[in-house]
Structure 1
Amino acid sequence: MSRSSLRRTVAGGATLAAGAALLAGVAAPTAGAQPAATSAAAAVPAGLVPVRTLTSLLGTHAWYAQTFHGLPVVDGYYAVHTLTSGTSVADGRRSVPATLVTTPALTAQTALGRAASARTAAASAAAGKAVAAGHPKNAPLAPAVAGDSRATLAVVGGPDAAIVWQVITTGDDGESRTLVDARTGAVREVRSLSKNAEGPAATPAGTDATGTASVFDPNPVVALRDESLTDGKDANSAVPNRAYVTVALPRLLPGSTTLSGRYAKVTKAAGGLAKSAGHDFTYRRADDRFEQANAYYGIDKAQAYIRSLGFTDVNNEPQRLHVDTYKGDNSFYSPTQDTITYGTGGVDDAEDLEVVWHEYGHAIQDAQVPGYGSSEEAGATGEGFGDYWAVSMAQPTSRGFDDPCVMDWDSTSYTTTVPHCLRRTDTGKTVADMTGEVHDDGEIWSNALWDVHQALGRDEANRIVLEAQFSYTPDTSFAAAARVTVATARSLYGDPAARTVRQAFAARGIL
């Protein structure tokens, strides 16, 4: 959402958890390290740790994380893309002096204390900025303050290279990372991480079960075409029964009595997990179990659609979900935990599938590109893709009701104008309108993708967008990502499609 929730919430996990942690977004890197074309796969340099290898429609993508003397280098990455059109390398390694001292002068315990103070101050500043701006929903996601913290040594590369304690804090309010200089004790950076996707977890053998649920698809405002609806403090009476639709919940794991499936898994929820031996998860919205069923349905539906396009390696896992566990008006994707958390402020976020799908968009991108979004423009493409993915997923059931409006139901709690929209994918914004805020600038990117969707059709557009993202870099620029997307359109559908995609980006001033 345009709240910190639907802003920057995702990360890249991996078969090697350590490798994934290296790439979870942290210190602002040098933006835009782009793939360099090669005629054959280059030998992988020393000092790299495999993170994951993914298969797309056009080839394979091998990702590595940079190390120095066995320590992770923050945001250092290396990727080899072997496609039908040739092989390319994306080299995002950070320079580290060979003489850098890697022995800490500061204990981990001291670093944890300094990080805690810095996180508290940063969270207060973020809250103040939101109030001052008069738009708290567009505030930067505050660093997680509550929860467990752990400190590990890492290296920051670049002109101010240093050995640091990397402090990861995880709690119900999200995840954050603080870098504390391990020699001087200075806090180098405090940043919200709330954004890892591991490989597919082992699942029980046997025949999957199919459950039943009542859900909103995509949300009550769209289903009833009624902008006057309000939350009514979660009352059943606030939303007419005709807004609900009875659906099947497929792919529930054999033997499971909870919402645990091949593509989605509710692992934590307010009031405990919904349980049914007969797989009947039919509730109304005043019952917190309704949001669990709604979120499961939305994530399962999105992954099933992705697979219908031919992809089998786009967030190929049961996505873990925490439902109604955050009491603020926010939702977020947490990187090291590989979880999406849905909040309860205003409209319970998991009641609006466009919120559910926006957050899943972050999980998708970081599954494809470990640590995605480590530059401002990459972050903006992430927010833009999340918004685009939400409206594209909603389009088949919206029956044309203001498709470009993002989160029509959730936004009724914090907008006064009609139609109620958190953001839109048809604002007409161009790069001349950039503000440096990832949600604002994301509307530029989402508008380009929506124009491609309108011109080429939903399935063709989404194959192009999803395939292209495999070859983005974590710190990509608008222009670099757009060029990759145009090239992908050409490889998949030929020159006419490539021209259409280029025109969409040109209209936004990106190309």
Structure 2
Amino acid sequence: MGCFALSFSFLTSCGSPAKKSVTIGADALAGSCVGGPTTGAISRWDENPRTSSGNASLAFTSTLSASDAKPGVLTGLAGNCLLQNQMFSLTKDSYYPSSIAAPSGGALLYAPSTPQFRQLNSFYAASELRDLMGTIGENLSSLSRISIDAHCKVANNAYFSPSQNALCLGYADVGSYRRIWAADDADVIVHEAGHAVNHALSSTSVLNSSGEAGAIDESIADYWALTVHNNSVLSEWFLGYLGGIRDASLNYPYPGSMQYEVHDDGEVLTQTLWRLRASLGRAHSDAIVAKTLVMLPTPARFSDFYLTFYAAAKLHYGVTASSDPNLTLIRQEFTARGIHRTDAPTAIAPDGTRPTYVIDDHSISALSGGNCNGVLDVGETALVLVNLRNPIAGHQGMGVAYLSSIPAGITVPSGGGVGEFFRFLPSQSFANSLPTGSTRGDATSSAAFLVRATTAGMKTFSANYVPMFADPLSTAPAYGTYQFNFTLNVASGTNQSSCSNSALWP
């Protein structure tokens, strides 16, 4: 069973959901007018204070200078004396509710120290993504107007909330009684607006359908920011302070670098797309990425993204022959990254040393009755990780196991009969292939089956393992499904309403 995000943040992983205590309310329309300006001159950053000033070492505690700002023009305003266009709205502010920039005629020129500067910078940057979508011909008319909170009350983060259809742009305290704001960093703004675009072109359900679907969403949100600003480095300012800059010019391999953390794992795909942008050209790459989102199936994993990207490219170029030079470039790049693959282990089976882990604690809401003894007892709903071993001396990418035979006395809650094994290291068990750190538990939960015992005794299960297949030139081989069996001895221990035992987890 999987761990899938319900909000889409710049820094927060599935294991640590974005802060949901922040309420982004409906736009307040006081001060609106009829026949107001539809354009407005502003001052804004050329991406962020560091890139705009040309000083890559600009201190985060610096007083930001108006001389480093660049001119910009807001276009397509609604003409109602509010900061609104067809796609975005900024008419409220959590920290500065009485200082809202409003286009009522004349220039909107504010100093970088003012909240209005950051509001206008946010609106301008988000609208750059709107303009890109128009350039590549994507129709986002079905997307409701997105509210922007340029001074959201959330520390060290920024996020897009699908339920509130809003961007929350937070802050970081940098010392000396100073803060830096995500609203000063156009990469953050476009990234979060990019989530809204992704979910409009695809859907929230598709982009929440697997462990790798969240990484796809983060990757494409990064890609939109990078392509808008024509810069491979993401967020030299906000992430620069928080220590999480992402660089699409690097070369992380799949699946060896995967950590089961959506932002980290998304970098593998972003780097692939950035190289393709250089070889195919920006206009073609942008259009194919957007078309891929429209066509993306569910569940969506990296293999599905690659095959869909290839199909979208064929439609975009109007070609079918695999010898087409652009299709060849796409195959070469996904192959070099390790995503083009046809994993075919000669056999796969539970590890001989530790074949299963029974996790009968209360760490997630789906578990109940557990007494934390590592044995499945009658009345318990527990996670069962079958610790499969990779039999080959090479990596395996995302594979999926499905329960095919469930013994009497066992029930499987909805979705509990599927396990996603996000990677295997060469000649290693899945437990030995897990990442270190906070995402280890998420990866374990995603690979484990969820079962409930109703009677005691020895129980034998059968399951099918489907290895990763991602080759647009052929169909999945018939031998690509491997059956394995495992047994559990269900006991009759006393159920408990709460307990914890970290030793249950690999």
TM-score category of the 2 structures, normalised to the smaller one: 0.5 to 0.7
Shift of 1:314: 7.3
Distance 2:246 2:142 in 1: 25
Q: Match for residue 405 of structure 1?
A: 233
Give the whole-Å Cα distance in 2 for the aligned partners of 1:315 and 1:458: 25
1:385 equivalent in alignment to 2:220: yes
Deviation sequence 1:295-331 (CA, Å, 0-9, x none): 1101112111211122223774432211112231111
The structure richer in strand per residue is 1
Unaligned 5+ segments in structure 1 are 1-6, 12-135, 148-169, 175-202, 396-402, 416-420
**Paired residue for 2:409?**
none
Question: Which whole-Å CA distance do the structure 1 matches of 2:37 and 2:86 have between them?
Answer: 9
How far apart, CA to CA, are the structure 2 residues paired with 1:246 and 1:474? 43
Partner of 2:299: helix, strand, or coil? Answer: coil
Quote how far apart the aligned CAs of 1:387 are: 1.4
Deviations 1:359-398 (A, max 9, x none): 1111111111221233111111111111121111111xxx
**Number of matched residues?**
313
Out of 463, 466, 473, the residue aligned to residue 290 of structure 2 is 466
The residue identity in structure 2 corresponding to 1:382 is D
TM-score, length of structure 2 as denominator length: 0.57
Shift of 1:291: 1.3
Which ranges in structure 2 are unaligned for 5 or more consecutive residues?
Answer: 26-31, 174-179, 341-506
Is 1:241 matched up with 2:74? Answer: no
2:502 corresponding residue in structure 1: none
Structure 1 residues 206 and 287, CA, compared in 2 at 3 Å: closer, same or farther?
Answer: closer
Q: Please, which moves more after superposition, 333-342 or 486-495? A: 486-495
> In percent, how many aligned pairs have the same letter?
26
Say which structure, 1 or 2, has more relative contact order (CA 8 Å, 6+ apart).
Answer: 1
Alignment of 1:229-378 (within 5 A): 229-232=58-61, 238-256=63-81, 258-269=82-93, 270-272=95-97, 273-278=100-105, 280-313=107-140, 316-346=143-173, 347-371=180-204, 372-378=207-213
Q: 1 CA distance for matches of 2:337 and 2:331?
A: 10
CA contact (8 A) 2:46 2:70 kept: yes
Q: One-letter code of the match for 1:445?
A: L
Structure having the larger proportion of residues in helix: 1
Aligned partner (choices 425, 443, 450) of residue 274 of structure 2: 450
Which residue of the partner structure matches residue 53 of structure 2? Answer: 224
The AA in structure 2 aligned to 1:296 is F
Could you tell me how far apart the structure 2 residues matched to 1:487 and 1:319 are? 31
Pick which of 501-510 and 448-457 moved more.
Answer: 501-510
User: Which whole-Å CA distance do the structure 2 matches of 1:506 and 1:146 have between them?
Assistant: 39
1:423 aligns with 2:253: no
The residue aligned with 1:505 is: 334
CA displacement 1:43-68 (0-9 Å, x = unmatched) = xxxxxxxxxxxxxxxxxxxxxxxxxx
The answer on 1:171 being equivalent to 2:30 is no
Cα 1:474–1:366 change in 2 (3 A) is farther
Q: 3-state DSSP class of the match of 2:149?
A: strand
Contact 1:219/1:408 (<8 A) preserved: yes
Query: Which residue identity is paired with 1:446?
Result: T
Structure 2 counterpart of 1:225, which letter? G
- The correspondence of residues 182-193 of structure 1 with structure 2, limited to 5 A, is none
Change in CA separation of 1:447 and 1:140 when aligned onto 2, cut-off 3 Å: same
Q: TM-score with structure 1 length normalisation? A: 0.57
In 1, the alpha carbon distance for the partners of 2:37 and 2:236 equals 34
For residue 213 of structure 2, what is the amino acid of its counterpart?
A
Q: 1:441 aligns with which of 259, 265, 286?
A: 265
- 1:275 to partner: Cα distance: 2.6
Answer whether contact 2:11 2:158 (CA < 8 A) is retained: no
Distance 1:315 1:364 in 2: 11
Q: What is the CA–CA distance in structure 2 between the aligned matches of 1:144 and 1:388, rounded to whole Å?
A: 21
The answer to whether the 8 A contact 1:219-1:352 is kept is yes
Q: CA deviation at 1:279?
A: 5.3
Instruction: Tell me the distance in 2 between the aligned counterparts of 1:373 and 1:326.
Output: 26
Instruction: Provide the C-alpha distance between the structure 2 equivalents of 1:137 and 1:311, rounded to a whole number of angstroms.
Output: 28
Question: Structure 1: how far apart are the matches of 2:282 and 2:35?
Answer: 34
Q: Distance in 1 between matches of 2:13 and 2:252?
A: 20
Provide the C-alpha distance between the structure 1 equivalents of 2:181 and 2:164, rounded to a whole number of angstroms. 22
What's the C-alpha RMSD, in Å, of the aligned pairs?
2.7
Change beyond 3 A, Cα 1:139–1:370: closer
CA contact (8 A) 2:48 2:186 kept: yes
Partner of 1:155: none
Say if 1:489 and 1:509 are closer, same or farther in 2 by CA, change over 3 A: same
Structure 1: which amino acid aligns with 2:253?
T
Q: 1:254 to 1:240 in 2, by over 3 A?
A: closer
